[in-house]
Chains A and B, each alone.
Chain A
């Protein structure tokens, strides 16, 4: 009986530690803005309001252009959970309400970190996020800067 329990325990430990589970876990994210933007840090609530398009103006003036990653991106999942405090599907439902009642449309969804970086470099008022690995690996381009979340 005891050996059977040990076997089950071992099996559970193997499943929990399996690579597929680890890969499924979302990685971190880094919020980025155009390097001309004087902002160095943002409140989480302000950032959420920006991505829900409740706030559309920077405090120092100028319109904000948020940009998202695609829904299946690990950084998007982590950003939704930690900043927007909703799942990606919950955010999608929020936008369905606004789209079909004519209130607003969601931020553009880009397919890769590189595209988000290009977008933020191109539009001075924009704000996006990329995976932490992406910037850590040195793929960040000139023209962007990281913003901390308070």
Chain B
């Protein structure tokens, strides 16, 4: 944490120095949640109820000239075994934006995956506490959040045909290794030599309707060790992901649906007995809607489904159906409270590490999750 204080100090002092030209914009949020499940531990030790669901962030952006801008966000999180209140720079960038058709960003830039990946941490931007976990799995945040490299982006209007927003990026992902306590297999090394991808969104002539597609390719080079022995294996895992997106926003109504498949190959295994070469394709989809009834109440409903392996859909560990209902209450323009209930069937979104080493096929098939969360922001 201390190593980032210089940044806060530098930017804070800049508020005064820069006030006459273009002020430094500062925004922040603090969230605290509670999770209780009827069975199985989900995201944290939820079966007995857990407050291990905290997020906080503060960001600063500064316009340096008409075409140049910089920004950074400090983020801290604790969600079960992940985060552990370790502060890190969530994103930071230098943005060169000479025209609406073309912009260039360098730094640590959030990944435009699907409609909402970039805002997956931002509780205040949506009704649901958890985005549909099939496409936005909360425990995969480190893999999907941001990349260090560059991004080219732009927006072009095409008259009555609507407009297009494009994003193209390339770089790498620096991930900390966070093994779940109690796991029988631990990751000892993890590198992402490259990540490339792009997203195209079309604002259609139908007012409020957006249609889009995202592709992403990356490679994970990893070494895993069986914790009870010295047996280990190194493998390379090239992964390709795509998702198709549809969103309709009109007045206080939002309807969104996404469908995607992720392809992973395990190659170059140094110990095929431990990790054999393989190909796996998983499938993810959801539909979500929310409606703001009045300035302080916004209910939402979502259904998501996830199949970790499209070639094997039988057995509770081979699917995750999730039907969820949320009520968002805006107490004022800086503070909100949410309550959410999930009806789950399947165990594919669970981890053995959080469930005492019990295989997913041995966990309860039908279970419920109840979440409460409050967020203050400005």
Contacts and interface: CB of A to CB of B under 8 A. Distances in A.
B29 A100 contact: yes
A103 B155 contact: no
A111 interface: no
Interface in B89-137: 91, 93, 97, 99-100, 109-110, 116, 118-119, 121-122, 124-126
A96 B125 contact: yes
Interface in A8-64: 45-46, 49, 54-57, 63
Contacts of B298: 89
B292 A90 contact: yes
A105 B97 CA distance: 14
B330 interface: yes
Interface string B178-212: 00000000000000000000000000000110000
Contacts of B250: 85-86
**Which secondary structure characterizes the binding site on chain B?**
strand
Given A87-B251, A100-B59, A55 B100 contact: yes
A102 to B, nearest CB: 5
A93 interface: yes
A54 to B, nearest CB: 5
B118 A101 contact: yes
A57 B249 contact: no
Nearest to A94: B125
B235 to A, nearest CB: 32
Given A100-B57, A100-B59, A102-B110, A54 B163 contact: yes
B71 interface: yes
Contacts of A101: 91, 110, 118-119, 122
A81 interface: yes
B27 A99 contact: yes
Interface string A81-116: 100011101101110110111110100000000000
Interface size class of A (residues with CB under 8 A): 20 to 34
A63 B98 CA distance: 10
A73 B66 CA distance: 29
Nearest to A125: B66
A143 interface: no
A54 B91 contact: no
A27 to B, nearest CB: 18
B73 A100 contact: yes
B125 A102 contact: no
A49 B252 CA distance: 19
A79 to B, nearest CB: 14
Nearest to A106: B25
B81 to A, nearest CB: 24
B102 to A, nearest CB: 11
Contact of A90 (B122, B155, B252): B252
Contacts of A103: 118
B315 interface: no
Interface of A: 45-46, 49, 54-57, 63, 71, 81, 85-87, 89-90, 92-94, 96-97, 99-103, 105
The 5 closest A-B pairs by CB, nearest first: A96-B125, A101-B118, A97-B119, A100-B122, A97-B125
29 contacts: A46-B157, A54-B163, A56-B97, A71-B333, A85-B250, A86-B252, A87-B252, A89-B252, A89-B295, A89-B298, A92-B333, A93-B124, A93-B125, A93-B126, A96-B125, A97-B116, A97-B125, A100-B27, A100-B57, A100-B59, A100-B73, A100-B121, A100-B125, A102-B59, A102-B61, A102-B91, A103-B118, A105-B25, A105-B27
Given A86-B252, A100-B29, 13 more contacts: A49-B163, A54-B100, A54-B165, A55-B155, A56-B100, A57-B100, A81-B251, A87-B251, A89-B252, A89-B295, A89-B330, A99-B25, A102-B59
